[in-house]
Chain A
């Protein structure tokens, strides 16, 4: 009972702080921030990073990292575009999700069975996925397919209210899997102490493959949302695909800082909203986009991190 009351108090305080922050943003921007049209843009922007961040949170929960997620999103988006233009919505959704899930699942098979540190293996995989994307974009056989934008008729998942519906569904799925399923608890157990988990009968390799599937699903949906929003995916080379996960990564890091007080799955969409609100505010205030805005994001992360880690004594790596 006491615990529930504490959780409720934390949730109310958290929501109040968020609302206060949004009101302050609105005041600073001279009432432009919370204007309907502007806020709609903010909300539609948070869906892709939230899905990617949920995918990453499952990866991090079991102690792995995957730098190839950007490359996977590019290929899944290509699949969504090609099959979407051919078969409509079933093609957009199924192709994107299947390719995303399959590639992340392959990644986890490689992590689980080769025992190569995941950040090293995933950088190699990122290079392979980027090269594949480049090949698809330049090969005569596929060039016309992947350079054609997704038909506007099939892009509703990138727009409100459908993107918000997808976000809500993704949130419910992530929350239940992470907190209320055996596989979710096993994933967290492996990340916490692999030896104890193994001794307690958790099948570590099988659980890792589950992580691949679950993360892959979220990354696949992220690709569907991204292509539905932008219509066309540009090819990435020279490891530039990694830049696609910087903002989701910042969101997960922010959510991890908050996780002692707020469940990480809940914190992710909230952190997405905070980060994109900051970007939006900076744009309204005519701060140049790109480097300066990202420097502001970096500074915000550090300040928030210092506040969140207040009182901690252990060395954080």
Chain B
């Protein structure tokens, strides 16, 4: 039930040096409203919510919370006003237990005579998990080594533990699998029923329309429009986002599998990783896109890592064109590429430049006589790929941390496409990228398919795997339950029946 305005923003501006991140933003959030925020990468969404959450100040403009001036100077001040946020890139402290992470910065609340009661702290964290019906996490275990999804859950509970009136979620659904995404939707419903409000950022337009009441579209740092979710369409949102018509269909339009069944590129036989996946066998063929989907703990992400040699196999074999692969070095030499889900931590060298990131997988090919590597050749490759992949940057010497999520992903993908690859493993390739980049990534996948490159697409988004795959491997509890070919059975409903 929506009501009066809880947060009102008028004429908010924020610049970083010569770049105007936000220009004259007006924004209202009603009590009991779930408000979506969408825009291309670099449109100013993250800046706006960072201002609301107290991470950034404003150059000009005003914010009012419950009618009173609201100028948070830190996230802690925002929390004190019951505004909390789960950030896209922030994460948890790996060296601390999950329970402490939930109350980090607030441990004094559990302290008596200076001694923190970890028992009381963990009990309170557990209560929060129970209250919001989120999957339980081992609160005593260090966050180090936990899956990205589990870490996001800890961050979500950390935000909920503030008992917020306003909850801000910055692209967290794309880190979650189908079941946990549903749990988040339930949480939002419950939150809304309590008369609380949320601002949700996601690049999934359909999801945004489904779960929100209104949507504010940002373009180039300014508000391009505010839409009522019930009266809008995905195409209208996309048009407002990019300022031009975007075709609603960026997935494949064919309804039959199309690949060369006679040419098997990769065979996995009896893959078993202790405690993660059991006895998984499948083949991938030239020009095939083989999708993998499943709920959390289904093991789909482990399969990707195991194929590339990043997981220790208890048993089983991975054969690329008959040659057994046992390590990432071996996989790389056999022209296999792997794009992991956690782009910033597992894939890219964030402190290095664009050219270094582009060049890294191709260093062996570009090594000349007497092991000499010509920096000129490496940079030429990086320049070529920057142009080909349309990476928005100052120059190739810019560090990765300066790029938006979409452009980082272009570098992440492009560095593999610069090579002559036979198999491409993509784990959630469109996580955290806008519709424009998403469409671009799908077109790259279609091109790769046409060139006969085999692709393994692992995704938490059912629409994505359904839209792009020739065949779909559905996993549950670490076991491959079914392989469904593109056709009549290729529906969300039939997948969920196997997954859940």
Interface of A toward B, CB cutoff 8 Å: 3, 61, 176, 179-182, 185-186, 188-189, 191-193, 195-197, 199-202, 311, 313
In the complex, what's the smallest C-beta–C-beta distance from A180 to chain B, in angstroms?
A: 5
Chain A residues whose C-beta falls within 8 Å of the C-beta of B140 in the assembled complex: 3
Known: A181-B111, A182-B107. A196 touches B93 (CB 8 A): yes
In the bound complex, what is the Cα–Cα distance between A313 and B100 (angstroms)? 26
In the bound complex, what is the Cα–Cα distance between A61 and B312 (angstroms)? 30
| Chain B interface bracket (under 10, 10 to 19, 20 to 34, 35 or more) | 20 to 34
Please tell me if the beta carbons of A201 and B116 are within 8 angstroms of each other in the complex. no
Please tell me if the beta carbons of A188 and B116 are within 8 angstroms of each other in the complex. no
In the bound complex, what is the Cα–Cα distance between A181 and B108 (angstroms)? 8
Chain B residues whose C-beta falls within 8 Å of the C-beta of A182 in the assembled complex: 107-108, 111, 114, 116
Please tell me if the beta carbons of A192 and B105 are within 8 angstroms of each other in the complex. no
In the complex, what's the smallest C-beta–C-beta distance from B94 to chain A, in angstroms?
A: 5
Q: Which of B73-81, B254-262, B382-390 contacts A (4 or more CB under 8 A)?
A: B73-81
> Known pairs A188-B93, A199-B55, A201-B76. 19 more at Cβ < 8 A?
A3-B140, A180-B116, A180-B118, A181-B111, A181-B114, A181-B115, A182-B116, A185-B104, A186-B107, A188-B95, A189-B93, A189-B96, A192-B93, A193-B91, A193-B92, A196-B90, A196-B92, A196-B93, A201-B74
Chain A residues whose C-beta falls within 8 Å of the C-beta of B107 in the assembled complex: 182, 185-186
Please tell me if the beta carbons of A197 and B104 are within 8 angstroms of each other in the complex. yes
List the 8 shortest-distance A-B pairs measured between CB atoms, nearest first.
Answer: A201-B76, A192-B95, A201-B105, A200-B105, A192-B93, A200-B104, A182-B107, A193-B93
Please tell me if the beta carbons of B94 and A193 are within 8 angstroms of each other in the complex. yes
In the bound complex, what is the Cα–Cα distance between A188 and B91 (angstroms)? 15
Chain A residues whose C-beta falls within 8 Å of the C-beta of B307 in the assembled complex: none
Is B106 in contact with chain A by the CB < 8 A criterion? yes
Interface of B toward A, CB cutoff 8 Å: 55, 74-76, 79, 87, 90-96, 100, 104-108, 111, 114-118, 138, 140, 158, 310, 312
In the complex, what's the smallest C-beta–C-beta distance from B146 to chain A, in angstroms?
A: 13
In the complex, what's the smallest C-beta–C-beta distance from B124 to chain A, in angstroms?
A: 15
Choose one: A195, A196, A311; the contact of B104 (CB below 8 Å): A196
In the complex, what's the smallest C-beta–C-beta distance from A265 to chain B, in angstroms?
A: 14
Q: Closest A-chain residue to B93, C-beta based?
A: A192
Please tell me if the beta carbons of A199 and B115 are within 8 angstroms of each other in the complex. no
Q: Which residue of A188, A193, A311, A313 has the most chain B CB atoms within 10 A of its CB atom?
A: A193
In the bound complex, what is the Cα–Cα distance between A179 and B138 (angstroms)? 18
State the main secondary structure of chain A at its contact with B.
helix
State the main secondary structure of chain B at its contact with A.
loop
In the bound complex, what is the Cα–Cα distance between A195 and B115 (angstroms)? 25
Please tell me if the beta carbons of B96 and A201 are within 8 angstroms of each other in the complex. no
Q: Which residue of B107, B111, B310 has the most chain A CB atoms within 10 A of its CB atom?
A: B107
In the bound complex, what is the Cα–Cα distance between A180 and B121 (angstroms)? 11
Q: Closest B-chain residue to A260, C-beta based?
A: B142
11 A–B pairs (Cβ distance < 8 Å), ordered by A: A3-B140, A176-B115, A181-B115, A182-B107, A182-B116, A189-B100, A192-B94, A196-B91, A196-B92, A197-B93, A201-B75
In the bound complex, what is the Cα–Cα distance between A135 and B221 (angstroms)? 62
Please tell me if the beta carbons of A185 and B90 are within 8 angstroms of each other in the complex. no
Q: Closest A-chain residue to B55, C-beta based?
A: A199
In the bound complex, what is the Cα–Cα distance between A229 and B69 (angstroms)? 63
Choose one: B79, B87, B104; the contact of A202 (CB below 8 Å): B104
Choose one: A3, A180, A191, A201; the contact of B95 (CB below 8 Å): A191
Chain A residues whose C-beta falls within 8 Å of the C-beta of B115 in the assembled complex: 176, 180-181
Q: Closest A-chain residue to B104, C-beta based?
A: A200
In the complex, what's the smallest C-beta–C-beta distance from B130 to chain A, in angstroms?
A: 18
Q: Which residue of A180, A188, A199 has the most chain B CB atoms within 10 A of its CB atom?
A: A199
Please tell me if the beta carbons of B87 and A199 are within 8 angstroms of each other in the complex. yes
Chain B residues whose C-beta falls within 8 Å of the C-beta of A196 in the assembled complex: 90-93, 104
Chain B residues whose C-beta falls within 8 Å of the C-beta of A189 in the assembled complex: 93, 95-96, 100, 104
Chain B residues whose C-beta falls within 8 Å of the C-beta of A191 in the assembled complex: 95
In the complex, what's the smallest C-beta–C-beta distance from B145 to chain A, in angstroms?
A: 10
Please tell me if the beta carbons of A181 and B116 are within 8 angstroms of each other in the complex. yes
Chain B residues whose C-beta falls within 8 Å of the C-beta of A179 in the assembled complex: 118
Choose one: A3, A176, A180, A199; the contact of B75 (CB below 8 Å): A199
In the bound complex, what is the Cα–Cα distance between A42 and B55 (angstroms)? 53
In the complex, what's the smallest C-beta–C-beta distance from B329 to chain A, in angstroms?
A: 13
Choose one: B55, B116, B138; the contact of A185 (CB below 8 Å): B116
In the complex, what's the smallest C-beta–C-beta distance from B278 to chain A, in angstroms?
A: 20
Chain A residues whose C-beta falls within 8 Å of the C-beta of B116 in the assembled complex: 180-182, 185
Please tell me if the beta carbons of A195 and B90 are within 8 angstroms of each other in the complex. yes
Q: Closest B-chain residue to A190, C-beta based?
A: B93
In the bound complex, what is the Cα–Cα distance between A196 and B101 (angstroms)? 10
Chain B residues whose C-beta falls within 8 Å of the C-beta of A176 in the assembled complex: 115
Q: Closest A-chain residue to B145, C-beta based?
A: A260
In the bound complex, what is the Cα–Cα distance between A202 and B105 (angstroms)? 5
Chain B residues whose C-beta falls within 8 Å of the C-beta of A185 in the assembled complex: 96, 100, 104, 107, 116
Q: Closest A-chain residue to B328, C-beta based?
A: A313
Please tell me if the beta carbons of A201 and B93 are within 8 angstroms of each other in the complex. no
Chain B residues whose C-beta falls within 8 Å of the C-beta of A3 in the assembled complex: 138, 140
Chain A residues whose C-beta falls within 8 Å of the C-beta of B55 in the assembled complex: 199
Chain A residues whose C-beta falls within 8 Å of the C-beta of B79 in the assembled complex: 201
In the bound complex, what is the Cα–Cα distance between A202 and B55 (angstroms)? 13
Chain B residues whose C-beta falls within 8 Å of the C-beta of A188 in the assembled complex: 93, 95-96
In the bound complex, what is the Cα–Cα distance between A193 and B75 (angstroms)? 16
Chain A residues whose C-beta falls within 8 Å of the C-beta of B111 in the assembled complex: 181-182
